[in-house]
Amino acid sequence: MEDLSLHILDIAQNSIAAEASRIEITIREDIRKDLLSIEITDNGAGLDSDTVSRVTDPFYTTRKTRDVGLGLALFNEAVESSNGNLTIKSQKGKGTKVKATFQFSNIDRRPMGNIGETLLVLIIGNPKISFSFLYQKNSKKFSFDTELIKNSINGHLQSSSENIRFIAGTLNDGLKNLGVSA
Mask of contacts with ligand ADP, 65-94, x by CB under 6 A?
---xxxxxx---------------------
Grouping H, G, I as helix, E, B as strand and the rest as coil, residue 30 is: strand
Is the CB of 93 or the CB of 155 nearer to ligand ADP? Answer: 93
The Cα 115–Cα 3 span in angstroms is 9
Q: From the list Mg ion, ligand ADP, none, pick the one residue 42 interacts with, judged by a Cβ distance below 5 to 8 Å according to partner type.
A: ligand ADP
For the bound state, the minimum distance from the C-beta of residue 109 to Mg ion, rounded and expressed in Å, comes to: 22
Say if residues 9 and 75 touch (Cβ distance below 8 Å). no
Say if residues 95 and 41 touch (Cβ distance below 8 Å). yes
Q: Which residue is nearest to ligand ADP (CB)?
A: 69
Instruction: Tell me if 14 contacts ligand ADP by CB under 6 A.
Output: yes
What is the edge-to-edge ordering of all strands in the sheet holding 140-145?
Answer: 85-91, 95-103, 35-42, 22-30, 130-137, 140-145
The Cα 91–Cα 2 span in angstroms is 30
Instruction: Tell me if 168 contacts ligand ADP by CB under 6 A.
Output: no
The Cα 151–Cα 109 span in angstroms is 38
Mask of contacts with ligand ADP, 21-60, x by CB under 6 A?
---------------------x-xxxx---x---x-----
What does the binding site for ligand ADP look like in residue numbers (CB under 6 A)?
14-15, 18, 42, 44-47, 51, 55, 68-73, 96
